């Protein structure tokens, strides 16, 4: 019984290591930018071992994406207490430059648009969650109006971060981040100020 328990624990630890590596590498290189063989090699395993942990590559992609989304949990906590600071942090140069540990929404959106329905469903569920969170933090307007504002805020954040990473001109990159941050904070200053007071 001990050997069996030890074996299961070892398998679970290996599984978690594979998912963690994939979560970082997919954000860094894209869903098609790294092979299963490369991921397994980095985990210290052969390709043959892959199917002891995952039925298909898509199953790994979904698990890795959910693991990557866990990095958004801290951002959500920050947003609940200080939406202004959360927007500034999301659109920072530090976040732009930390591709392997950054928001999977910005890192993988284009890849996911061409992925399987299973992968897109997992991505869509987290997008919906993000919209719902931001909607709950806005202080004024009907539910429909707050929903629209929430979509605008997060879509602008994801789009600006993606563009800031894509352009080769570093000054243009910084300008994208700064200007979109400024515009968002200006457009929604009343909601953000009220949210901060309510949280305090």
- Judge if 45 and 116 occupy the same domain: no
- 78 with 160, same domain: the answer is yes
Residues 184, 117 within the same domain: yes
Separation of alpha carbons 181 and 99, rounded Å: 19
In this prediction the pTM is: 0.84
Domains: count for the chain: 2
| Tokens (6 digits) for 172 | 């243009």
C-alpha distances out from residue 126 to 83, 121, 139, Å: 18, 9, 22
Are residue 46 and residue 138 in the same domain, yes or no? Answer: no
CATH of the domain at 139: 1.10.357.10
CA atoms of 15 and 53, how far apart (whole Å): 6
Same-domain check for residues 191 and 143 = yes
Residue 63 lies in a domain: no
Distance CA 138, CA 123 (A): 23
Q: Does 66 reside within a domain?
A: no
161 in Cβ contact with 90 (< 8 Å): yes
pLDDT tens, per residue, the chain with 200 residues: 344 455 888 889 999 999 999 999 999 999 999 999 999 999 999 898 999 999 999 999 999 999 999 888 989 999 998 999 999 999 999 999 999 999 999 999 999 999 999 999 999 999 999 999 999 998 878 999 999 999 999 999 999 999 999 999 999 999 999 999 999 998 877 666 554 444 44
Q: Is 140 within a domain?
A: yes
**How high is the pLDDT of residue 140?**
79
Per the structure, the complete domain to which residue 187 belongs is given by 71-199
């Amino acid at each position: 019984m001990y050997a069996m328990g030890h074996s299961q624990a070892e398998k679970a630890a290996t599984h978690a290591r594979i998912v963690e590596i994939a979560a970082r590498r997919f954000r860094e290189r894209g869903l098609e930018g790294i092979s299963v063989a490369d991921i397994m090699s980095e985990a210290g395993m052969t390709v043959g071992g892959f199917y002891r942990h995952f039925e298909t590559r898509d199953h790994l992609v979904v698990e890795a994406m959910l693991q990557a989304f866990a990095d958004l949990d801290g951002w959500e906590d920050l947003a609940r207490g200080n939406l202004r600071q959360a927007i500034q942090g999301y659109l920072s140069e530090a976040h732009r430059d930390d591709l392997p540990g950054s928001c999977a929404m910005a890192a993988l959106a284009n890849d996911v648009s061409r992925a399987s329905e299973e992968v897109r469903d997992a991505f869509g569920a987290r997008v919906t969650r993000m919209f719902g969170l931001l909607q709950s933090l806005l202080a004024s307007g009907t539910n429909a109006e707050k929903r629209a504002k929430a979509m605008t805020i997060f879509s602008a954040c994801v789009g600006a971060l993606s563009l800031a990473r894509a352009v080769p001109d570093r000054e243009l990159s910084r300008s994208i981040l700064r200007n979109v941050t400024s515009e968002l904070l200006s457009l929604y200053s009343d909601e953000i100020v009220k949210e901060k007071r309510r949280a305090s």
